[in-house]
Amino acid sequence: MPTRSPSRTRAAVARSLPDLAAALAGRGDVALVPTMGALHDGHRALLRAARAAAPTVVMSLFVNPAQFGPGEDFARYPRDEGADVAIAEDEGADVVFAPDVATMYPPGFATTVDPGPLGDQLEGQARPGHFRGVATVVTRLFGLVRPQSAFFGDKDYQQLIIVRSAARDLALGVEVAGVPTVRDADGLALSSRNRYLSPAEREQATALPAALMTAGELYAAGERDGSRLTAAARARLPFEPDYLELRRRADLGAYDPADPAILLVAARIGTTRLIDNIPVEDA
Ligand code: AMP
């Protein structure tokens, strides 16, 4: 349980659209933090960044069925609304929007947002339709909450780029900001899914950040050959990744040694699919 600060103010928990409208009435600029709950320190970092950006912070709490494929972990995804609301309050959220599925997808809901070719690459190749589900729910959240800014983790970098593109292409009037990945002491990126890992799997999972760091160090030392960089990272993995790719950082286009780059990895460890990435930089 998070420590509750005595001065913490209560957040309004809105479940319906009228409740949300009432909770937002008369407020100024809003910063939105979309989440699926099971909050950890990564989510706290997003809430803090939002708190610094706008007088009103709204956190959404919705496990979005549209972004899970058949056979994925929608049914067993961890849910603990009481703990999540306490954390949101602890980080100064003013409103927690926690709709049910029928509120987000009422009868007759028919429109989806297609994120374009990037939606079928990297994560999208392993998870067909995932980014359509993400782009659709985030666009609807933007329409309901009307934020001026929204905060997403660099941890899910492809999601960040896709949401930022959707906001720009569809002129949604939201500035989409990325927040650096929060990691455990052993380097593993915090994720709600880490709780699925057995101790042995968790130990194995630390190979992901270690492999990324290896390539990052080579890059910092001047290596710019994409195949050599990815081969060095791959050699550190005791398992076969789903993908391990170097891409252009700005838009996840093809790697170009002249542009800032990012290395992205995904792997299945036991039954748990984990993703991670690091920006590669000059020393
Ligand atoms: P989720 O609840 O998993 O959908 O994540 C909600 C938001 O938190 C997304 O924008 C994620 O990218 C972000 N997030 C998840 N894990 C981390 C982390 N370790 N560091 C920073 N942001 C994160």
How many angstroms is it from 228 CA to the middle of ligand 1? 30
Q: Which residue, judged by its Cα, is nearest atom 12 of ligand 1?
A: 153
Segment 243-263 mean pLDDT: 98
Provide the percentage of residues in the chain whose pLDDT is more than 70. Answer: 97
Alpha-helical runs (H) found in 105-189? 123-126, 130-145, 157-169
Segment 200-228 mean pLDDT: 98
Q: Which residue, judged by its Cα, is nearest atom 13 of ligand 1?
A: 153
Summary mean pLDDT of the chain: 96
pLDDT at 6 over 60: no
Q: 252 in the Ramachandran plot: left (φ > 0), alpha (ψ -120 to 50) or beta?
A: left
pLDDT of 117-136, one tens digit each? Answer: 999 999 999 999 999 999 99
pLDDT at 3 over 60: no
**What is the C-alpha separation between 203 and 276, in angstroms, rounded?**
15
How many angstroms is it from 200 CA to the middle of ligand 1? 24
pLDDT at 1 over 90: no
- 3-state DSSP call for residue 206? coil
Segment 258-272 mean pLDDT: 97
**What is the C-alpha separation between 212 and 45, in angstroms, rounded?**
22
| Ligand 1 site, residue 190, Cβ cutoff 6 A | yes
CA–CA distances in Å: residue 87 to residues 6, 58, 61, 215: 13, 13, 12, 35
How many angstroms is it from 103 CA to the middle of ligand 1? 23
Q: Which residue, judged by its Cα, is nearest atom 5 of ligand 1?
A: 35
- 3-state DSSP call for residue 275? strand
**What is the C-alpha separation between 195 and 87, in angstroms, rounded?**
18
Tell me whether residue 136 is exposed, middle or buried, using C-beta atoms within 10 angstroms of its C-beta: 0 to 12, 13 to 18, 19 or more.
buried
Backbone angles phi, psi at 131, to 5 degrees: -75, -25
| Ligand 1 site, residue 89, Cβ cutoff 6 A | no
pLDDT of 142-188, one tens digit each? Answer: 999 999 999 999 999 999 999 999 999 999 999 999 999 999 999 99
Shortest CA distance to 207 belongs to which of 215, 78, 39?
215
Q: Which of 14, 43, 141, 163 is catalytic?
A: 43
Q: Are strands 12-14 and 95-97 parallel, antiparallel or unpaired?
A: parallel
For residue 19, what pLDDT band results from cuts at 50, 70 and 90? very high
| Ligand 1 site, residue 61, Cβ cutoff 6 A | no
**What is the C-alpha separation between 77 and 96, in angstroms, rounded?**
19
How many angstroms is it from 152 CA to the middle of ligand 1? 7
For residue 9, what pLDDT band results from cuts at 50, 70 and 90? confident
Top-confidence residue, 9 or 30: 30
130 noted as active-site residue:
no
Alpha-helical runs (H) found in 25-90? 41-53, 81-90
For residue 7, what pLDDT band results from cuts at 50, 70 and 90? low
| Ligand 1 site, residue 155, Cβ cutoff 6 A | yes
Shortest CA distance to 163 belongs to which of 235, 103, 115, 224?
115
Segment 80-100 mean pLDDT: 98
276 within 8 A of 265, measured Cβ to Cβ? yes
CA–CA distances in Å: residue 11 to residues 15, 22, 58, 84: 13, 13, 9, 11
